[in-house]
Amino acid sequence: MAIAEILLIIACAALVIGVIVVSVINKAKGKPSCDCDCSACAYCRTCRKKDRDGLDE
């Protein structure tokens, strides 16, 4: 294996680990996992909670 291949593998692993860490942190803060406002999403837990509570945006 060349040094470039090793560096590429390390960079890809760091990217995947970074995405996982950010997802865990966002979940701990209670943020939804999607990046949208969920106004058209019937399956988003955040939207269903707002509908259930009777709250509007």
Structure-block tokens of residue 33: 């996992």
Confidence of residue 39 (pLDDT cuts 50, 70, 90): low
Structure-block tokens of residue 45: 């837990």
Q: Which residue, among 24, 5, 2, 3, has the nearest Cα to 13 in the 3D structure?
A: 5
Q: Within a 13 Å sphere around the CA of 4, how many CA atoms are in the beta-carbon half?
A: 0
Confidence of residue 43 (pLDDT cuts 50, 70, 90): low
For the chain, which residues make up each domain, given as ranges? Answer: 3-53
Q: Which pLDDT score, from 0 to 100, does residue 51 have?
A: 47
Q: Which residue has the higher pLDDT, 1 or 17?
A: 17
> pLDDT of 9-37, one tens digit each?
999 999 999 999 998 888 888 776 666 66
